Amino acid sequence: MTEKRKNIKFLICQIVVAILGLVWIIVRGNTVLLSAYIPIMVIVIPATYFNYTLCKLENKWHSMWHERTPCDGEPSDFRLLMGKISEWILFIMALVLALLSGMIA
């Protein structure tokens, strides 16, 4: 399986889980939580998929503004890992918010 196909399947799984969480919040009647849940998911899902591109863009911008000879913007493994970890933490926090909506109601 190619890396791109695997990434697209993973993206689809994330979207399905996000939709299930959204439906769960609506079914439980805690629509107030949607104001936190929807923005988190709208930001986290694309950021997880485009993590490499976002890291490379950030490195290029930093290099252009702060260095005499700009680099190609290749992100470090550490930066990619930290991006993935932070995006997953936000994704899991949103899912916990969806699950807790049943207990809060």
pLDDT in tens, 24-77: 999 988 888 889 999 999 999 888 888 888 888 777 877 777 777 767 777 778
2/99 Cα distance (integer angstroms): 33
Length of the chain: 105
CA angle 74-43-23, nearest 5°?
145
Handedness of CA 22, 24, 35, 54 (dihedral sign): negative
The single-letter DSSP state of residue 74 is P
H/E segment holding residue 13: helix 3-28
- pTM value? 0.74
